[in-house]
Structure 1
């Protein structure tokens, strides 16, 4: 909940002050240095959100039964214990028209218990419920949008027990300028804050107006790219775009390269391990986009790799930076809270490659007796004096957690 002073700042922002200060925020300004519209915006999502979103696998075929069964599976599979918390409903959950009082209404066939009843079920499992809406007149699938209804809709979401809002950008009344985008997304941010309910706010404007330069003022995560597809070319292009934005992320403010496609069948397991590895390395939200009820053992092995999850969820909250780029071969280094560094060697090419860096390039201090490299997929350990190298298969990623503390400095 915002303090009185923060509410005043938010009210000022809603009428235009936030728009006026935008030109002072440049693309090189890290998120941690932005002047927030509301300081409590950083008290939620202190690590990247983890959970599920139905859109990639189901599109408009969403239902209360699906959401409840997914919540059940989070518990029975160990996903909840691994850190997955949010069960998020995407587009198409509502009736085609608002009710006589102007309120959004859940589709009674899809959600016979309503969103409130579904939220109660999810909460009873120790999980949180997410919901979708749009900062336009209609959602992307043509359902009622929230533009002009922000206060009423935010109050409705809070009353239903919603914990997370994904806020999309379709049918946006012809708004094209950064100022117009910021105004629309700020209006909902203020409406959510005014409810007094802690709701994680996911800004989904597809990276159109460089949200990494302003969205940290009002939300907790923001899409940096177009929608992901379950094909290698899509994954590769999104990695490239999101990799360059490491200075803009931090606790409570995350670059979001979109949902996980792991298990949907369009890529190989090596490519899926690359997505999971690099999403963790880039401190991205880990939102599962597959039908977990039918997930294969190999898919679940990826989703439940606790060593990789721990890198994503490290409380220091640093996004891994690019240490080197050589055509399609990228090296990332992510500092961790205990002094370790997570290094990812990514081979985006179509041929096997040897990829190398060093402990010094990765940001590790001198170690008298060497460094321990732990491969987070094979679990093999290597002792090195400073060289970090691996032979990496096409489209694959080798991910190490590197420590010097066990050997003295």
Structure 2
């Protein structure tokens, strides 16, 4: 069970029609979430400031449109079961209206359990009531975090010791219940499952109306944790498609505990993975480097490519990795990664990725065209560094 101190979940949904049952998330969602930086101290003013910064920095126009309030906004339920906000969020409808006035979308957070990760009121037993309330506020995104519902699952295991699927079935039913409640509101609300990859949600999430689902436990602002999560996504590409996406958790770019090269590795890997791009930093204190990474047009275009394919590992050799992602127009994105503690050369054979006669190569982070290349392309990378290339015929 996650604690307030360790939690940093991002919820996602999927669906069975072309772009999901709710018609959303044709491309991986992009935006900002309050948790990674503000955690349990976030306020209405912080969220409004984030909305302002998304506009003034150009992030909104680059595609970052969701403004998501994470855990700890909740107050108490009244005698009718209506959940009220706490003093840090005096008027959620007004907050949503403000976000919408900026040309942005409004996200909220809850749990299928009685309590959230931070110990605030969850939605257990109030799913339809809460979904209607979210719709009345103008909510566009719900992150639904497993948290205390793990207690219910453990109880199911204890009560049904001979049924290995008792806990899983209970969890799926809980996520289905909220998915149905969101659909019943008539408002398109992107549904994000945050349950840490428990029981492989990529296999059953689409049937619940989910647009994205967490594939891993929580990320933090460290290189070791980031690469452990990112490289663990190998083999999951077949489960991602327009309308439903694998979610390796939010971005830590700009939170200050990784180097510029490590943050470039973070962004490179996430865009190759066609991951939702949810910034988690203080947008009012971004460095030029933070902005250049988060708003690199070529990197974002890889993530948002209309083909809707997630990339996967081409090969691994010790501390060196090569990943590729198919792009529209017969192009291929290539990520070269050096996980070692020294400068290393990392190579890709263009013939091995479909360019037997060579191709035009663009370096995303250097923002330059490398011209026509044939055979093996080699990049010299710093420790924990990455190169991100786009190859076209």
Provide the TM-score with structure 1 as the length reference: 0.86
Q: CA deviation at 1:38?
A: 11
1:210 aligns with 2:200: yes
Q: Over residues 261-300 of structure 1, what are the superposed CA-to-partner deviations in whole Å (9 max), with x where a residue is unaligned?
A: 1111111111011111110110001001100011111111
1:110 aligns with 2:88: yes
Change (3 A) 1:35 1:139: closer
**Match of 1:7?**
none
Contact 2:15 2:207 in 1 (8 A): yes
Contact 2:54 2:60 in 1 (8 A): yes
Secondary structure of 2:229 counterpart: helix
**Match of 1:45?**
25
Which one of the candidate residues 43, 66, 76 is aligned to 1:86? Answer: 66
Q: CA deviation at 1:384?
A: 1.0
Q: Over residues 169-197 of structure 1, what are the superposed CA-to-partner deviations in whole Å (9 max), with x where a residue is unaligned?
A: 11114315221221111111111011110
Contact 2:214 2:246 in 1 (8 A): yes
1:200 aligns with 2:190: yes
Aligned equivalents of 1:235 and 1:135: distance in 2?
Answer: 27
Output the aligned Cα RMSD: 1.6
Which one of the candidate residues 67, 76, 79 is aligned to 2:56? Answer: 76
Moved >4 Å (runs of 4+): 37-40
Q: Over residues 18-43 of structure 1, what are the superposed CA-to-partner deviations in whole Å (9 max), with x where a residue is unaligned?
A: xxxxxxxxxxxxxxxx9939984262
Secondary structure of 2:379 counterpart: strand
Secondary structure of 2:345 counterpart: strand
Structure number with the bigger relative contact order (C-alpha 8 A, sep ≥ 6) is: 2
Contact 2:19 2:243 in 1 (8 A): no
Which one of the candidate residues 353, 356, 361 is aligned to 2:352? Answer: 361
**Match of 1:60?**
40
Change (3 A) 1:322 1:144: same
Secondary structure of 1:234 counterpart: helix
Contact 1:119 1:162 in 2 (8 A): yes
Contact 1:132 1:165 in 2 (8 A): yes
Structure 1: gaps spanning 5 or more residues: 1-33, 405-409
Of stretches 307-316 and 210-219 in structure 1, the one that deviates more from structure 2 is 210-219
Aligned equivalents of 2:17 and 2:83: distance in 1?
Answer: 28
Q: CA deviation at 1:338?
A: 1.9
**Match of 2:143?**
166
Which one of the candidate residues 378, 383, 388 is aligned to 1:389? Answer: 378
1:400 aligns with 2:382: no
**Match of 2:306?**
315
**Match of 2:288?**
297
Q: How does 1:370-385 map to 2 (within 5 A)?
A: 370-382=358-370, 383-385=372-374
Provide the TM-score with structure 2 as the length reference: 0.90
Which one of the candidate residues 338, 349, 352 is aligned to 1:347? Answer: 338
Structure 2: gaps spanning 5 or more residues: 1-13, 155-166
